[in-house]
Amino acid sequence: MDALFTFVDRKMSSISPSASTLYTYSAACHGFATSLAPDEADSLRMLDSVLGVYEDTLYTLHTTQTPEFLGISNELGLWSWSGFPSSPNKEYSDVIIGVLDTGVWPESSSFDDSGMPSSGQVEG
């Protein structure tokens, strides 16, 4: 895996001397995050060895209780809507699981509970 990211760093340096790898992904997928100018992203996108270049969109978090917010509070969640059988012992292929990095920042003022009474229970 280190060889892959060494290759990525070399390619990035050839496109933008100032660009640096901000984060590398190696668990659910292999990739990296960086900060590029639009023309640098276009140059990277044109390389045959690059599968895709995607701009990160910053969203504001509306809730910390996503399943209820999306209305998927039953025990199978979205799985029951997928058309797949619900057998826990069945193996599946060609299933893509999305990972959303919400960027939740505990120091945000939205988490400030100063002056709030303790409920004794944690939700979310």
Q: What is the pLDDT of residues 90-123, one digit of tens each?
A: 666 666 666 666 667 777 787 777 887 777 666 6
Count CB-CB contacts under 10 A for residue 80: 13
Count CB-CB contacts under 10 A for residue 115: 5
Cβ atoms of 86 and 79 within 8 Å: the answer is yes
Higher model confidence: residue 2 or residue 73? 2
Q: Which two tokens stand for residue 5?
A: 């990211």
Q: What is the pLDDT of residues 14-66, one digit of tens each?
A: 777 777 777 777 777 777 888 888 888 888 888 887 888 888 877 676 666 76
CA angle 53, 58, 61 (to 5 degrees): 140
**Burial of 44 from C-beta contacts in 10 A (0-12 / 13-18 / 19+):** buried
